[in-house]
Chain A
Amino acid sequence: MTQTKHIEMRGVRKTYPFFTLDDLSLDLEPGQIMGFVGANGAGKSTTIRLAMGLIAPDAGDIRVLGHAIPEAQGAAKRDIGFVSSEMRLLPHTTIGWHMQFISSIYPEWDAPYAEALVKRFNLRPAQGSGGLSQGEQIKALLMLTLARRPRLLILDEPTNGLDPVARHEVMTEFMDVLRDDNRSILFSSHNTVDVERISDRITFIDRGRVVDCNDKEDFLERWRRIHLQLPPGVTLPHLPGIVSRVVDGQFSTLTTNSYSDGLLALLGNTVRDVQRMSLEEIFVANVFHHREARGQ
């Protein structure tokens, strides 16, 4: 793959009085959806603001769609669509006014697609921005952004405040964007169910550090909870790839991030059950494991 990466961050650092984002590296390839998962205050929004050139890093390199950020952000932004759940339409205007305004700035504006999205999201162009619910605000912003057909979508908590039906509508639209293998999406969320469903790659971030980054299928394949019953007096040998171990009498529960048939063979007939883990469970186990390793 010699294609230009859509996002490339290397060794990025940004220091605030009470928070430091450190040694952040992140790669987004064309045609991919990356889910960016972290607790509140983990550094998701800071990372996104750095990628958008809204703030400058103290150290490290950032390239977006091949352009150096923040220096060449003007050129990059023509092809980026950015929506955050904190954004609002301009007050005292209508949705239709915004459509007019944005189509006059961006020559790529796709009017038929905009009309289709208005219908699918059940928006009314004549409606004033003041009367919109949180969900309608986000859907209107997404419509205005998607209709520009940007190559890169950067979405900060895009499903925040959406009811289940609206979330479904919006996620369907995200996947539709990816029919074109030259487009990509970076989206942050603490809703791991959404992330698990549509992401190709997943990055976990905690306390300003990237904890883990991998293909989604790899995460789901490698993490397992294994329940064991050990006869009295028998102790487990040291096993590689065990991130946590809880012992309760004869019963032990192991959590592993490198499950294999080999590991199962080593444990032999002490194994009572092997369980797959949801992305949420993997995220939580991963975060605790790394906090422990860093002595936090």
Chain B
Amino acid sequence: MGLVFDSELSIHCMHSMYSGINISQTDARPMYLQIMEQIRARIAVGDWAAGKELPSIRALAAALSVSVITIKRAYLDLENEGVIFTRHGKGSFVADVNGLAGELQAEKIDEHLAAAAGIGRQLGLSEEELATRLRRAIRNLDKK
């Protein structure tokens, strides 16, 4: 039953492969975040497997009727999160979580730590105070 329904559905959706992604005007989050979340969801449930090529930026922009710069921003942030990767001239692909994604995750956490260090300096915290706070944050995670 499910299979029959699936094939019917794909016929209805042929004119736009990505018509399932939509943008809400009543959602307070910016459009790029809404797009990121829906792409993440497709990857998380396995509909978009590792290595799958994502639609080109311009194709997705046209399909969703949103600006190219918004899609660029969404792809760039997904790349920074390690969810997708981009080969120049080839396109963007769903990342293999165990491989490349690991490195990107490491970069991502370094970025967050750098931001925390920056805020710490602005607040006048010493290196030791900042380290104490990080250790406390880790202990708090364990408590939960």
Q: Do A and B come from one complex?
A: yes
With A181-B58, A220-B30 given, is the CB distance from A175 to B70 under 8 Å?
no
CB atoms of A276 and B28 under 8 A apart:
yes
Tell me how many residues of A have a C-beta within 8 Å of chain B. 28
Given A178-B62, A217-B73, A262-B119, 7 more A-B residue pairs with CB atoms under 8 Å apart are A168-B65, A172-B65, A176-B62, A193-B25, A200-B67, A200-B69, A262-B122
Interface residues of B in 62-91 (CB under 8 A from A): 62, 64-70, 73
Q: Which residue of B lies closest to A198 (CB)?
A: B67
A: which residues have CB within 8 A of B?
31-33, 168, 171-172, 174-176, 178-179, 181, 193, 197-201, 215-217, 220, 261-262, 265-266, 268, 276
User: A interface, by DSSP: helix, strand, loop or mixed?
Assistant: helix
Query: In angstroms, how far is the closest chain B Cβ from the Cβ of A103?
Result: 25
CB atoms of A217 and B123 under 8 A apart:
no
Partner of A175, one of B23, B30, B65, B118: B65
**Contact residues in A for B31 (Cβ distance below 8 Å):** 197
The CA-CA distance from A217 to B62 in the complex, in Å, is 18
Q: Which residue of B lies closest to A199 (CB)?
A: B67
The 13 listed contacts between A and B (C-beta, < 8 Å) are: A172-B65, A175-B61, A175-B65, A175-B66, A179-B58, A179-B59, A179-B62, A198-B66, A200-B68, A215-B69, A217-B32, A217-B73, A276-B29
CB atoms of B30 and A266 under 8 A apart:
no
The CA-CA distance from A199 to B58 in the complex, in Å, is 13
Q: Which residue of A lies closest to B61 (CB)?
A: A175
Query: In angstroms, how far is the closest chain B Cβ from the Cβ of A207?
Result: 27
The CA-CA distance from A261 to B32 in the complex, in Å, is 20
**Contact residues in B for A174 (Cβ distance below 8 Å):** 65
Residue from the set A31, A178, A216, A217 with the largest chain B CB neighbour count within 10 Å? A217
Q: Which residue of B lies closest to A168 (CB)?
A: B65
CB atoms of B30 and A265 under 8 A apart:
no
Q: Which bucket holds chain B's interface residue count?
A: 20 to 34
The CA-CA distance from A262 to B122 in the complex, in Å, is 7
CB atoms of A217 and B68 under 8 A apart:
no
Give the 9 A-B residue pairs with the shortest CB-CB distance, closest first: A200-B69, A265-B122, A175-B62, A265-B119, A175-B65, A200-B67, A179-B62, A217-B73, A179-B58
The CA-CA distance from A215 to B76 in the complex, in Å, is 15
CB atoms of B123 and A178 under 8 A apart:
no
The CA-CA distance from A197 to B30 in the complex, in Å, is 10
The CA-CA distance from A266 to B70 in the complex, in Å, is 30
CB atoms of A262 and B62 under 8 A apart:
no
- Answer yes or no: B100 CB below 8 A from chain A CBs: no
**Contact residues in A for B23 (Cβ distance below 8 Å):** 197
The CA-CA distance from A44 to B30 in the complex, in Å, is 27
CB atoms of B59 and A261 under 8 A apart:
no
Query: In angstroms, how far is the closest chain B Cβ from the Cβ of A121?
Result: 15
**Contact residues in B for A198 (Cβ distance below 8 Å):** 65-67
- Answer yes or no: B115 CB below 8 A from chain A CBs: yes
**Contact residues in B for A33 (Cβ distance below 8 Å):** 67-68
The CA-CA distance from A174 to B69 in the complex, in Å, is 15
The CA-CA distance from A197 to B118 in the complex, in Å, is 34
**Contact residues in A for B123 (Cβ distance below 8 Å):** 265, 268
CB atoms of A261 and B119 under 8 A apart:
yes
**Contact residues in B for A261 (Cβ distance below 8 Å):** 115, 118-119
The CA-CA distance from A200 to B73 in the complex, in Å, is 11
Query: In angstroms, how far is the closest chain A Cβ from the Cβ of B50?
Result: 27
**Contact residues in B for A197 (Cβ distance below 8 Å):** 23, 31, 65-67
**Contact residues in A for B70 (Cβ distance below 8 Å):** 216-217
